[in-house]
């Protein structure tokens, strides 16, 4: 191969490889999730690793509605690159919270559940997205 062809290949590689790496980092940075719940049936829907808040919320609501059928599912929480947690009580109270720390998200969700009148609030789901 000629020297000019090698120089061209090196230049193309120097431009192309960092572009791939940057694209991969941007894709990882777009990690949204949501939790939806029906207040009537207490059925839930979840989503994670979506590229937008709207897509994550729509998926969680759709999943909840497919189980519930009540038509009243709503997104309780959405996150981007963090942990989200749902705590529920046997009397129907629920609380959600988020944090980059799983333990903190769960602790805060239990506290919110108690603030809504829940007794013996327990964590029913925690989802941590890459960050």
pLDDT tens string 44-88: 999 999 999 999 999 999 999 999 999 999 999 999 999 999 999
| 117 occurs within a structural domain | yes
| 50 occurs within a structural domain | yes
| 12 occurs within a structural domain | no
Better pLDDT: 61 or 21:
61
| 10 occurs within a structural domain | no
Question: Are 127 and 46 spatial neighbours (Cβ–Cβ below 8 Å)?
Answer: yes
pTM of this prediction?
Answer: 0.77
| 19 occurs within a structural domain | no
The yes-or-no verdict on residue 20 having pLDDT over 50 is no
Kindly indicate the confidence band of residue 3, based on its pLDDT and cuts at 50, 70 and 90: low
| 88 occurs within a structural domain | yes
What pLDDT does residue 60 have? 98
| 24 occurs within a structural domain | no
Domain carrying residue 112: 29-128
Q: Give the chain's domain count.
A: 1
As a whole number of angstroms, the distance between CA 36 and CA 42 comes to 10
Better pLDDT: 18 or 118:
118
| 96 occurs within a structural domain | yes
Question: Are 86 and 125 spatial neighbours (Cβ–Cβ below 8 Å)?
Answer: yes
């Amino acid at each position: 191969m000629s020297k000019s062809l090698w120089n061209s290949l090196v230049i193309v590689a120097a431009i192309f490889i960092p572009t791939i790496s940057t694209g991969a980092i941007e894709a990882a940075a777009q990690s949204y999730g949501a939790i939806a719940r029906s207040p009537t049936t207490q059925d839930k829907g979840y989503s994670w690793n979506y590229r937008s808040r709207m897509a994550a919320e729509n998926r969680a609501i759709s999943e909840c509605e497919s189980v519930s059928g009540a038509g009243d599912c709503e997104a309780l929480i959405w996150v981007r690159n963090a942990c989200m947690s749902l705590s529920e009580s046997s009397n129907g109270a629920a609380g959600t919270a988020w944090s980059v720390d799983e333990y903190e998200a769960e602790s805060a969700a239990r506290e919110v559940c108690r603030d809504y009148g829940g007794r013996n609030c327990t964590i029913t789901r925690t989802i941590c997205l890459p960050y």
